[in-house]
Amino acid sequence: MKTNRFLLVAIVAAGITCLICFTGCASTDMVETPATPVLAGDWILASAVAHGAEAGIPSGESITLSLDENGGDLYALYGFSGVNNYTGSASVTGNDFIVGPMAVTMVAGDPEHTQFEQLYFSVLNTVHSYTITDTALVLSSADGNSSLVFVPLVLDGTSWTLTGYNTGDAVVSVALDLEVPGLEFTTDGTVSGFAGVNRVTGSVVTDKTLRTVSFSQLATTRMAGSPDAMALEQIYLDLLGKTQVYQMSGSTLRLMTADGMTLLVFTKTDIQ
């Protein structure tokens, strides 16, 4: 009888141990580690502070910063500064962010935009550290008196008007006597717009870090138009279907193939 009692106690104890182990393991598996924000990608300037004073960004201006991993601690750095395009590199170690020499185009602008562009570069060149979250990238000077605050630049919630398309030989502008196609990206993975004659809707999948974009299930209304308008629409839809990556800089969007060939060029428009 004692042997049976001891055996029963042993079985119950083993069962409790297994239950505890199972519960503990299950709880551990259910804990998700928060994803680390990714520095690489596209950013748009939201605010700037120079020498302790807030600097107002010119109305309607889209100043951008793009970062690509370039091996080790190096990042390729480029963007649009309000008047000109710029390119360079940055060394990132821990929270240190050091900007290297930059090349800048030489386009002239009006006094307001030129002045802010100069201020932007003066702050960018003093950047010494960064902090990043899912919603913002902050670049700060060593003394903390100057900073640039960027937010993610994404396709979601943006609207664009076509300015150029690839004919197979060159990227050309839309003829003046034709209605111009446009594209609008929603925040729920769909896309819509005007294709030249008909309305177009479909699905879109994007990756803001890899800058990939894929259109699918594109459907149009069934209206007829002039031969030239119908030809443009067909080219436009075909190029959308071939798009694999995108590039945003300032108020310009380029849709391209994976090897970098430009298919469609758009300028940003306000969503009504």
Higher pLDDT, 33 or 54: 54
Residue 13 has pLDDT above 50, yes or no: no
| Residue 1 pLDDT > 60 | no
Tell me: pLDDT of 30 over 80: no
CA angle 6, 10, 12 (to 5 degrees): 120
Q: Which of 29-33, 61-65, 128-132, 206-210 has the lowest mean pLDDT?
A: 29-33
Asked whether residue 249 carries a pLDDT value surpassing 90, the answer given is no
As a whole number of angstroms, the distance between CA 200 and CA 196 comes to 10
Give the DSSP letter string of 30-71: HPPPPPPPP--EEEEEEEEEETTEEEPPPTT---EEEEEE-S
pLDDT of 251 reads: 87
Q: Is 10 helix (H, G, I), strand (E, B) or coil?
A: helix
CA–CA dist 186, 156 (Å, integer): 5
DSSP three-state, residue 270: coil
Q: Taking residues 244-270, report their average pLDDT.
A: 93
Q: What is the mean pLDDT of the chain?
A: 87
pLDDT score recorded for residue 98 = 96
With residue 182 as reference, give the H or E element that holds it.
Answer: strand 182-185
pTM of the model: 0.76
Residue 188 has pLDDT above 90, yes or no: yes
> Looking at residue 5, what is its pLDDT?
46
Task: Please list, in sequence order, all residues whose beta carbon lies within 8 angstroms of the beta carbon of residue 1, skipping any fewer than 6 positions away.
Answer: none
**pLDDT band at residue 134, thresholds of 50, 70 and 90?**
confident
Does the pLDDT at position 102 exceed 80? Answer: yes
